[in-house]
């Protein structure tokens, strides 16, 4: 019965953490990623479960991306990562690191982006979930696409497509495949993958994915020279993106359709789309859209023979291009500041882990010292135990090593500060400590050995006396009989 009780207690200790982890994972499955702008700041409400706050934060970040709010995306990504680290769920950590990489936009930050995307891949592989693995591979591919390494981007995107399972990620991966093939001058392949990206049934389920898919279809048809089909798909992308305030597909479709109309000779339609793209990009503060729209209007007015208007939009284009360069430089500084904040956050986490590990090691050292010390005292004061000098020497040596390691754990942080982590100085300090401990150890060993020798002699004499008494008693009994 006692053994059964012990087994049940042991089973409870083993199963409790597993049940806790399973409960957290089940809670995570109750929530979904869907772009929702958290205008009320619900993500800061600490009365809510941590897992719920994480998903509110992640979905707020997706909404900020759709709206093109880059500054807000950075801060939100850092908050999302902090929440994911507190939860400790690999799949959420993977997503959080991917969002941090997304926040570091621009080809100048490619190395940092890759760092965080590869961390996302590491946690995705730890989770064992193929959808998260494919998502991380897709994120890495976007960096290579931005850098112009299209073959490598293509290879990674195909790996990603073999892993992703959700419609959300199938849509994104196929859109990137279509765009990559279009940039490589392969319009047929671009159209094939754009068609495969069209997996979102209704725009309200994923407004960005739905609009982006139609934008890619329009771009692929335009690359093939099928202007009517391109116009139909651009029109649908513009309609959905405008209704749901999704910035990138909106101004992208307007500029792309305007260029197509200009090449077809429909100048009034090109001018109308150019003006609308200017308005949309201006509202969203998107300089890339303003550069594209002003260039489209410059070309359209020049084709219509209105030199003054063409020159006006030429000047605007130069101004917006300069602003874009300045904004890019400012963005680099902001990205550097953001990266530094993340680095400091990582360093603080590592320091906290080191302090926890050191505290645990010190506790283990104290326990070991107590056990060895109690063992030695039990041997000294035991009335029956007979211990040789060799055993005492071995025990005292183990005790010395444990004591030295215990002191090392205690003084290591202080020595590091004093010596600035200089290996030579730290070695000299530890050698000096050892030099003080060894003579003390020899004295203690000699004292304990002497005590045990005298105790052993007493024990042996007592045993011999009892033996003699027993022998004399047995002889006396024999004679009497």
The two three-digit tokens of residue 160, written as one number? 């990603």
Q: How far is CA 354 from the centre of its chain?
A: 19
Regarding whether 225 and 252 lie in a shared domain, the answer is yes
Supply the CATH number for residue 275's domain.
1.25.40.10
Q: Which residues contact 38 (CB under 8 A, 6 or more apart)?
A: 56, 57, 59, 60, 63
In angstroms, the CA 166 to CA 397 distance is 61
Regarding whether 368 and 327 lie in a shared domain, the answer is no
Identify whether the C-beta of residue 51 lies closer than 8 Å to the C-beta of residue 87: yes
Residue 333 lies in a domain: yes
How high is the pLDDT of residue 391?
A: 64
Q: Which residue has the tokens 């900020």?
A: 64
Q: How far is CA 120 from the centre of its chain?
A: 5
| Structural domains in the chain (count) | 2
- Give me the helices (H) in 49-108, please: 50-67, 70-87, 90-103
Residue 352 lies in a domain: no
The two three-digit tokens of residue 225, written as one number? 């020279």
Residue 346 lies in a domain: no
How high is the pLDDT of residue 364?
A: 64
How high is the pLDDT of residue 240?
A: 93
Regarding whether 372 and 302 lie in a shared domain, the answer is no
Using CA atoms of 157, 161, 164, 167 in order, give the dihedral in degrees to the nearest 10. 110
Regarding whether 170 and 304 lie in a shared domain, the answer is yes
Say how many residues make up the chain.
481
359, exposed or middle or buried, with CB in 10 Å at 0-12, 13-18, 19+? exposed
Cα 56–Cα 61–Cα 63 angle in degrees, nearest 5: 95
pLDDT per residue as tens, the chain (481 positions): 444 444 444 444 444 443 444 444 444 555 667 788 888 888 998 899 999 999 999 999 888 887 777 778 888 888 898 899 888 899 999 999 999 888 876 545 677 788 889 999 999 999 999 999 999 999 999 999 988 899 999 999 999 999 999 998 999 999 999 999 999 999 999 999 999 999 998 998 889 999 999 999 999 999 998 999 999 999 999 999 989 888 888 888 999 999 988 888 899 999 998 888 888 887 766 777 788 888 888 989 888 888 888 888 888 888 877 766 665 555 555 556 666 666 776 777 777 777 777 677 667 667 666 756 656 554 555 545 555 556 666 666 666 666 666 677 667 667 777 776 677 777 788 788 777 777 776 776 666 666 666 666 666 677 777 777 777 766 665 555 5
The two three-digit tokens of residue 162, written as one number? 């073999």
In angstroms, the CA 162 to CA 97 distance is 21
Q: Which residues contact 306 (CB under 8 A, 6 or more apart)?
A: none
Residue 4 lies in a domain: no
Secondary structure (3-state) at 10: helix
Identify whether the C-beta of residue 339 lies closer than 8 Å to the C-beta of residue 79: no
Handedness of CA 303, 308, 313, 318 (dihedral sign): positive
How high is the pLDDT of residue 2?
A: 46
In angstroms, the CA 62 to CA 241 distance is 15
Secondary structure (3-state) at 444: helix
Cα 272–Cα 278–Cα 281 angle in degrees, nearest 5: 135
Regarding whether 213 and 167 lie in a shared domain, the answer is yes
Domain-terminating residue out of 306, 340, 374: 340
Is the pTM value of this prediction over 0.75? Answer: no
Q: Read out DSSP for 288-299? A: HHHHHHHHHHHH
Residue 351 lies in a domain: no
Residue-number span of the structural domain to which 433 is assigned: 359-475
Regarding whether 312 and 368 lie in a shared domain, the answer is no
In angstroms, the CA 54 to CA 80 distance is 6
Regarding whether 323 and 391 lie in a shared domain, the answer is no
Regarding whether 293 and 174 lie in a shared domain, the answer is yes
Residue 349 lies in a domain: no
Identify whether the C-beta of residue 49 lies closer than 8 Å to the C-beta of residue 23: no
How high is the pLDDT of residue 17?
A: 42
Phi-psi label, residue 46: left if phi above 0, alpha if psi -120 to 50, beta otherwise? alpha
Q: Which residues contact 161 (CB under 8 A, 6 or more apart)?
A: 134, 170, 173, 174, 177
Residue 20 lies in a domain: no
Regarding whether 399 and 372 lie in a shared domain, the answer is yes
Domain-terminating residue out of 283, 306, 340: 340
Q: Which residues contact 215 (CB under 8 A, 6 or more apart)?
A: 233, 234, 237, 241, 249, 252, 253, 256
Q: Read out DSSP for 118-177? A: HHHHHHHHHHT-HHHHHHHHHHHHHHHHHHT-HHHHHHHHHHHHHH--SHHHHHHHHHHH
Handedness of CA 117, 120, 124, 125 (dihedral sign): positive
Regarding whether 247 and 126 lie in a shared domain, the answer is yes
Residue 42 lies in a domain: yes
How high is the pLDDT of residue 132?
A: 94
Q: How far is CA 226 from the centre of its chain?
A: 44
- Of 218, 208, 173, the closest CA to residue 193 belongs to 173
How high is the pLDDT of residue 399?
A: 65
How high is the pLDDT of residue 14?
A: 40
Regarding whether 386 and 278 lie in a shared domain, the answer is no
Domain-terminating residue out of 307, 340, 373: 340
Q: Give me the phi and psi of 30, to 5 degrees please.
A: -75, -20
Using CA atoms of 358, 362, 364, 365 in order, give the dihedral in degrees to the nearest 10. 130
What is each CA distance from 212 to 185, 332, 430, in whole angstroms? 20, 27, 64
Regarding whether 322 and 228 lie in a shared domain, the answer is yes
In angstroms, the CA 108 to CA 153 distance is 17
């Amino acid at each position: 019965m006692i053994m059964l009780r012990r087994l049940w207690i042991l089973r409870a200790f083993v199963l409790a953490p597993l049940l806790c982890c399973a409960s957290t994972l089940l809670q995570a499955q109750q929530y979904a990623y869907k772009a929702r702008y958290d205008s009320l700041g619900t993500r800061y409400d600490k009365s809510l479960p941590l897992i719920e706050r994480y998903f509110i934060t992640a979905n707020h970040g997706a909404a900020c991306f759709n709206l093109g709010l880059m500054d807000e995306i950075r801060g939100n990504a850092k908050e999302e990562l902090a929440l994911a680290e507190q939860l400790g769920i690999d799949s959420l950590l993977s997503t959080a690191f991917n969002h941090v990489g997304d926040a570091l936009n621009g080809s100048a930050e490619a190395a940092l982006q890759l760092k965080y995307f590869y961390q996302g891949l590491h946690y995705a592989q730890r989770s064992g979930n193929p959808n998260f693995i494919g998502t991380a591979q897709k994120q890495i591919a976007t960096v290579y696409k931005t850098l112009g390494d299209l073959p490598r981007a293509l290879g990674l995107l195909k790996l990603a497509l073999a892993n992703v399972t959700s419609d959300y990620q199938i849509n994104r991966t196929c859109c990137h495949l279509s765009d990559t093939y279009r940039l490589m001058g392969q319009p047929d392949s671009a159209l094939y993958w754009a068609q495969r990206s069209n997996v979102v049934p209704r725009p309200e389920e994923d407004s960005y994915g739905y609009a982006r898919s139609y934008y890619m279809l329009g771009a692929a048809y335009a690359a093939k020279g099928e202007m009517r089909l391109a116009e139909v798909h651009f029109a649908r992308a513009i309609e959905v993106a405008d209704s749901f305030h999704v910035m990138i597909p909106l101004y992208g479709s307007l500029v792309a359709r305007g260029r197509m109309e200009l090449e077809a000779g429909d100048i009034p339609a090109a001018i109308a789309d150019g003006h609308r793209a200017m308005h949309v990009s201006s509202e969203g503060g998107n300089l890339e859209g303003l550069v594209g729209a002003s260039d489209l209007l410059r070309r359209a007015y020049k084709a219509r023979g209105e030199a003054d208007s063409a020159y006006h939009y030429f000047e605007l284009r130069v101004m917006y291009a300069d602003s874009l360069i300045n904004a890019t430089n400012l963005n680099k500084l902001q990205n550097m500041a953001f990266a530094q904040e993340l680095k400091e956050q990582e360093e603080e986490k590592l320091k906290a882990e080191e302090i926890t590990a050191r505290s645990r090691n010190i506790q283990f050292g104290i326990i070991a010292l107590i056990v060895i010390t109690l063992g030695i005292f039990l041997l000294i004061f035991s009335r029956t135990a007979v211990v040789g000098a060799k055993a005492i020497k071995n025990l005292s040596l183990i005790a010395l090593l444990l004591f030295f390691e215990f002191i090392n754990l205690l003084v290591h942080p202080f020595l590091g500060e004093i010596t600035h982590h200089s290996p030579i100085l730290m070695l000299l300090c530890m050698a000096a400590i050892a030099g003080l401990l060894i003579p003390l150890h020899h004295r203690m060993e000699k004292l304990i050995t002497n005590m045990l020798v005298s105790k052993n002699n007493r024990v042996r004499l007592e045993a011999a006396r009892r033996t003699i008494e027993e022998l004399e008693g047995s002889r006396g009994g024999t004679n009497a009989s």
